[in-house]
Amino acid sequence: MTPSSNKSPNEYQAVVVGFGPAGAVATSLLGSHGTRTLTIDRLRTVYDKPRAIAIDHEILRLFDNIGVAERVLPYVAPFPASQHFGAEGQLIRRIDMVPEPYPLGYTPSMVFTQPPVEEALRDHAASYGCIEISLGTELLKLEQSETGVMLSLRSDHGGARTVTADYVIACDGASSAVREQLGIVLEDLVFDEPWLVVDVLVNEDALGKLPQTAAQYCDPARPTTFIIGPGNHRRWEIMLLPDEDPREAQQPEQVWKLLSKWLIPNDATLWRAASYRFHALVAQEWRRGRIFLAGDAAHQQPPFIGQGMCQGLRDVSNLIWKLDRVLKGQSGEALLDTYEEERSEHVRQLTTRIKAIGKVICERDPEAARERDARILAEGGGQPRTITRQEIVPPLQKGLLASREDKAKGTLFPQPWVQTEVGRKLLDTVVGAGWRLVVKSRHSSDISQTTRKNAEDLGLHVIKVGSSSDASSGADPDVHNTVIELDDVLARWFDVHGCHAAIVRPDHYVFGIASDEESLSELMADLQARLRPTAVRSPYSDQSPVSLHARTAS
């Protein structure tokens, strides 16, 4: 790869196509690594109405890591429990969040207001000196070779420009022009339902008319979702019936008819009404040579547990640290293949679970709906049971994970609150992200100096974490060099998994765990072999450059 400092004005290490949430976070991550990057978007402004409405603790942890959490938090609120009501209006189950102490430090499930959050993400991405943002810029053509990608661009003022990049990341949405130009097919996971999404800003004196928690009305006559957004923002997702015209349904007169059981027009301001088909689609390829798909360009899923935007941000969080290693010569090209291997499988698994929830919600046959209600109640022993959104999201199942089987690998590593001289802080704030070897403090003396040196040579930041009880009892032999957690989140995690050390990836997924010096040495050797900068022959080395032209607008 050409070093960043040797690039000409039209040469970049990365080009990001699309400056929505996924593109903006990708740009910030690239900026944090010092990657010379051009980010383009054919539109100049953020869409001023909400689309995504939910994020989770993994995503807020990512926002905190890139330094934008404080800008975002004013537009975020906890996502209350969602109560599911059956065909006869009876409560059949709840979907809630895991209880405190929260495993990643943040409220596990949240709602947010997209326009100001997206503005904050864009502003932060533009703050890096190595980043260039070009708005009002359309991608016309891609031409890929073994050594790079050539992109033909056109501004909305008519100017043309050609740039080159080592890699391209397509974050250009569900109708991705890059995906179309590459000819990559979306695989249909067989979910296709017409819904109307309605966002309103409710007057203060009318808020009491509405449910005080989120609700899912599994009514076969008209399945409907109710979501409590931040402040006075409320959302309804309403299934359209076979004889209803989606365009007609989104007209204000029809919208207010559908909302009439809750509100009248004088109670609120209609913010947005849009008809959608809720799809379950996944790209058959996520990588074509030096070009990667991410976010809605790579997948779309029904919104029933609010994971759409989260999935796209997981994509870029997974990809960018790997891209950085390859650009810096720390790992070979084969590392980039783990992006699709990990993220495609994760998306497919989560989409399958979301589809199952959607199938329950969307049941239109009254008799089948009554049988569904009885089955769900029976699963709770005759009472509405509570499941958590966090148990619905799966771990990583394959990719850059330890070869040896263990029950922690592929899961998210916890983030406890820790004690500092200036008060409580989250672990990442104190020790950073990156590759980490996290050791339970009372076992830290079991790790030899040789293993510590090997860990450091491998690029692992060695972190000892102990509990306040360890510190007070003298159980920690090196308390002055130990991070002290406050709620025993990590102590319980180590105990549950029967280990005293974990290797954690830059995206906070566990590579593997160890219970003694020997298993830790094996784990590090496994990681070293997987990350070694081997010379990997490009699968495109025997092919002539591929010219990928944009479709001509009709």
Helix (H) or strand (E) holding 418: strand 417-420
Closest CA to 508 of 413, 431, 418: 413
Task: Using DSSP, state whether 472 is helix, strand or coil.
Answer: helix
pLDDT of residue 489: 96
pLDDT of residue 1: 60
- Tally of CB atoms within 10 A around 518: 10
Distance of CA 549 to the CA centre of its chain: 30
Going from N- to C-terminal start, the domains of the chain cover 4-76+112-186+281-361, 417-531
In angstroms, the CA 218 to CA 95 distance is 14
Task: Using DSSP, state whether 108 is helix, strand or coil.
Answer: coil
Helices (runs of H) and strands (runs of E) counted in the chain: 16, 28
pLDDT of residue 442: 79
Question: Which residues on neighbouring strands pair with residue 426, listed in sequence order?
Answer: 417
What token pair was written down for 409? 């690998």
pLDDT of residue 541: 33
pLDDT 10s per residue in the chain (554 long)? Answer: 666 667 788 999 999 999 999 999 999 999 999 999 999 999 999 999 999 999 999 999 999 999 999 999 999 999 989 999 999 999 999 999 999 999 999 999 999 999 999 999 999 999 999 999 999 999 999 999 999 999 999 999 999 999 999 999 999 999 999 999 999 999 998 888 899 999 999 999 999 999 999 999 999 999 999 999 999 999 999 999 999 999 999 999 999 999 999 999 999 999 999 998 888 899 999 999 999 999 999 999 888 888 999 999 999 999 999 999 999 999 999 999 999 999 999 999 999 999 888 888 999 999 999 999 999 999 999 999 999 999 999 999 999 999 999 999 999 999 999 999 999 999 999 999 999 999 998 777 778 888 889 999 999 999 999 987 765 555 555 554 789 999 999 999 999 999 999 999 999 999 999 999 999 999 999 999 999 876 433 333 333 333 333 332 22
Which top CATH class is 4-76+112-186+281-361?
alpha beta
Yes or no: say if 527 and 330 are a contact pair by the CB < 8 Å rule.
no
Distance of CA 351 to the CA centre of its chain: 13
pLDDT of residue 306: 85
**DSSP readout, 114-151?**
HHHHHHHHHHHHTTSTTEEEEESEEEEEEEE-SS-EEE
Residue 513 vs residues 411, 518, 527: alpha-carbon distances, Å: 11, 12, 12
Q: 417-531 adopts what CATH topology?
A: Glutaredoxin (3.40.30)
What token pair was written down for 540? 């495109």
Residue 454 vs residues 331, 483, 529: alpha-carbon distances, Å: 17, 21, 13
- Tally of CB atoms within 10 A around 136: 15
Closest CA to 496 of 436, 416, 406, 418: 406
pLDDT of residue 447: 82
Record the pTM: 0.93
